[in-house]
Structure 1
Amino acid sequence: MTAADAPDVLYVGDLVTDTAIELIRDANTITYSDRAGPWLAMRSGAKLPFAGFQDFDACGNAANAAVAGTRLGLRAALAADVGKDDTGQRIVARLQEHGVDTHLVRVHPDQHSNHHFVLRHGAERTILVKHHEFAYRWSAPTGSAVPRWVYFSSLSEHAGGYQDEIAQWLAGHPDVRLAFQPGTLQIRAGVDPLRAIYRRAEVVIMNREEAVAVTGGDHADVHDLLARLHALGPAKVVVTDGPEGAYASDGDEHLWMPPYPDPAPPVERTGAGDAFAATLVAALARGETWRTALRWAPVNSMNVVQRVGGQAGLLRLRELEELLARAGADYGPAPFPEGPPSR
């Protein structure tokens, strides 16, 4: 890469192909709730009919975010790992079709690429995941290829050394701004393996349940969750809360950002969180203010849930601006009072 086309944002995270299987709700496949939350149940030993399936190549938090970035006018590159198989070839080709630079995608001979299965039940989904044990190695950008931002996201439980390499590189490049959207396995691993990443991050984005898991805070008290996330080091933090909107802090004030009104009930919620986080970071990377970035993020999230898959509904900049123009004057972040906001 040359200085003219060095990435605005380098996205880092695992890549995957998703096969989305649409289930049929009948006596064999049901959903129910108990004190632990919603459950999906299937009759053991049965042959279960399903309505259909779709394959989605080049998925995962980082890939979804990179595609969002390119559609919003950013130069996006992606550092990731795939196997030398048909799935890996399709993943790389798909990213290139979206305009994502893939020269930092490492291809591993004799290994399979990640392939997940998404069980769709209404607008909800249950995902069967497996991350392969790649020999991760950080291909450190140098010279004119050093990005302005790094967007760090979901990796497997086998990537501890790789994460340490990235943290060390970031420590040596203080001008590179860091956004961190931890994935499920990084949340499960706890803070200690990622303490340097949290401390180095300019902005950290996660959902409310993840914030509780990471910080040990009170689910009912978002102020407490925001404060606990700040204590880990990031300058700005965002806690998303699905249809309830999002809560954000820049260290000076706590804001609530309402969702952008959905034009219809959601078709599927895959990728909604990725769209929110990626759009917020894209706005910051484009030089927008913190409050403007918070206004942008729910628009893309709203549109993604109107389509199946995490990328089909991602907006181009012109489309996002048109939707923002239709929003009322009161659409934007607002301070919320001390004490736990109602759910």
Structure 2
Amino acid sequence: MHDLVTIGDIKLDTFVVLPEAHLQCSMVEGNKTCWLCLEHGTKIPVEDFEPQIAGSAVNVAVGMSRLGFRTAIVAMLGADATAPLARAVLKEEHVDARYLRVLKRERSSFSVVITYKGQRTMLAAHRPHHYHLPALAPFKWLYLSEMGKDYEELFRDLVTMVKRRGAKLAFNPGAIQLQGGARKLAPVIKATDVLFVNREEAHQLVNNRANGIDLRHLITRLWKQGPQVIVLTDGSKGSYAFDGGDILHLEPFPAKPVEMTGAGDSFATGFLAARMYGKDIGECLRWGAANAASVIGVVGPQPGLLSKTKVARALRMHRAITTKTL
């Protein structure tokens, strides 16, 4: 039996770290917006250049494997160089790849991630696939993450499977799913045990793109859509969790950001691992914060993912950082 099966896209991310660039910033609708400016038609020196297999599903599967769980992944790839790279990573990280499907005459999704001063600018190409849910061996938890278009049939089948098997579902909707709105996602959200979103995504799910409601109202409105637990991350302001009792808030663990890709996935991994180990939601937030602080300190979403021993060390080091009631 698998402890966790993740479902989502696998892609190839190429990380480019810029030593120098120009930022042009201004206020747009009350928010500070910056543009990364590079000289057109010239050669730009880079500090680092590194391709990595990525995507929320693989990031979480790898992270949970390092934390001691039996994991598998359901994903589709094009018949290109990304497929053997993905298989090699999954094998090395002890993630069951039996549900990995390589599609002939199709290409894998990919991104170029430009990093400057710890922040990323992503150039992404999402390849459309017709998603299909295979017959899965027994599992305890399922983690559903970002996908491209034509995901609807898989989502319907997935909700039916989770209910029929009495398994638990964690859900982190991707950009394309969020574009469809809360009504389209309602059956999945209602069946979800733990919903992971950042603040902007939360506003999209309650149809409030102008950020015009307070955080407490935002979280409770999300919870009323059906999930057992809401986990909301808000960058440097920390994270929040709500299961119908008090709304808990945790400040981030100290970190020196190098590259932010995978911050949300690593937080979700830590939180979910702690929950599967039977921890309360306050301690789950601390596990998430420990994992995220490690991941953003290096380039890419997986190199900084912690083992259970390293999480315990980080928790001891930052024992003074505990949850507070909002």
- TM normalised by structure 1 equals 0.89
2:279 counterpart (282, 285, 288): 288
Q: For residues 162-181 of structure 1, what are the structure 2 equivalents within 5 Å?
A: 162-173=154-165, 175-181=166-172
Shift of 1:53: 4.5
Asked if residue 147 in structure 1 is aligned to residue 139 in structure 2, the reply is yes
| Alpha-carbon distance change, 10 to 127 in structure 1, aligned in 2, over 3 angstroms | same
CA contact (8 A) 2:263 2:301 kept: yes
Shift of 1:95: 1.4
Give, in whole Å, the separation in 1 of the partners of 2:150 and 2:39.
Answer: 32
Give, in whole Å, the separation in 2 of the partners of 1:241 and 1:223.
Answer: 13
Give, in whole Å, the separation in 2 of the partners of 1:283 and 1:56.
Answer: 30
Asked if residue 68 in structure 1 is aligned to residue 63 in structure 2, the reply is yes
Give, in whole Å, the separation in 2 of the partners of 1:241 and 1:252.
Answer: 20
Structure 1 window deviating more from structure 2 (232-241 vs 47-56): it is: 47-56
CA contact (8 A) 1:276 1:300 kept: yes
CA contact (8 A) 2:62 2:302 kept: yes
Name the SS of the counterpart of 1:315 in structure 2: coil
Asked if residue 251 in structure 1 is aligned to residue 244 in structure 2, the reply is yes
Look up the equivalent residue of 1:165 and give its one-letter code: D
Look up the equivalent residue of 1:105 and give its one-letter code: L
CA contact (8 A) 1:61 1:183 kept: no
Give, in whole Å, the separation in 2 of the partners of 1:131 and 1:177.
Answer: 28
Asked if residue 270 in structure 1 is aligned to residue 261 in structure 2, the reply is yes
Partner of 2:80: 85
Give, in whole Å, the separation in 2 of the partners of 1:273 and 1:117.
Answer: 18
Partner of 1:13: 8
Count residues in correspondence.
322
| Alpha-carbon distance change, 169 to 327 in structure 1, aligned in 2, over 3 angstroms | same
Asked if residue 191 in structure 1 is aligned to residue 182 in structure 2, the reply is yes
Name the SS of the counterpart of 2:248 in structure 1: strand
2:297 counterpart (303, 306, 310): 306
Partner of 2:317: 326
2:230 counterpart (228, 237, 259): 237
Partner of 1:114: 109
Give, in whole Å, the separation in 2 of the partners of 1:147 and 1:33.
Answer: 49
Calculate the aligned-residue CA RMSD, in Å.
1.7
Look up the equivalent residue of 1:203 and give its one-letter code: V
Partner of 1:335: 325
Structure 1 window deviating more from structure 2 (83-92 vs 97-106): it is: 83-92
Give, in whole Å, the separation in 2 of the partners of 1:113 and 1:92.
Answer: 13
Give, in whole Å, the separation in 2 of the partners of 1:252 and 1:216.
Answer: 24
Give, in whole Å, the separation in 2 of the partners of 1:183 and 1:198.
Answer: 13
Structure 1 window deviating more from structure 2 (285-294 vs 125-134): it is: 285-294
Name the SS of the counterpart of 1:171 in structure 2: helix
CA contact (8 A) 2:9 2:147 kept: yes
Name the SS of the counterpart of 1:212 in structure 2: helix
1:247-282 per-residue CA deviation (whole Å, 9 max, x = no partner) reads 1101111111111122xx211111111110111011
Name the SS of the counterpart of 1:50 in structure 2: coil
Give, in whole Å, the separation in 2 of the partners of 1:323 and 1:238.
Answer: 21
Instruction: Quote the sequence identity (%).
Output: 30
Name the SS of the counterpart of 1:25 in structure 2: coil
Shift of 1:155: 0.6
CA contact (8 A) 2:19 2:47 kept: no
Give, in whole Å, the separation in 2 of the partners of 1:255 and 1:277.
Answer: 16
CA contact (8 A) 2:6 2:61 kept: yes
Q: For residues 49-60 of structure 1, what are the structure 2 equivalents within 5 Å?
A: 49-60=44-55
Q: For residues 94-133 of structure 1, what are the structure 2 equivalents within 5 Å?
A: 94-133=89-128
Give, in whole Å, the separation in 2 of the partners of 1:37 and 1:165.
Answer: 42
Give, in whole Å, the separation in 1 of the partners of 2:321 and 2:212.
Answer: 26
Give, in whole Å, the separation in 2 of the partners of 1:313 and 1:281.
Answer: 17
Give, in whole Å, the separation in 1 of the partners of 2:200 and 2:44.
Answer: 33
Structure 1 residue runs without a partner (length 5+)? 1-5, 337-343
Shift of 1:289: 2.4
Shift of 1:195: 1.1
| Alpha-carbon distance change, 219 to 203 in structure 1, aligned in 2, over 3 angstroms | farther
1:178-233 per-residue CA deviation (whole Å, 9 max, x = no partner) reads 11111222222211222111000011011111111211344561101111111211
Give, in whole Å, the separation in 2 of the partners of 1:301 and 1:216.
Answer: 28
Look up the equivalent residue of 1:89 and give its one-letter code: P
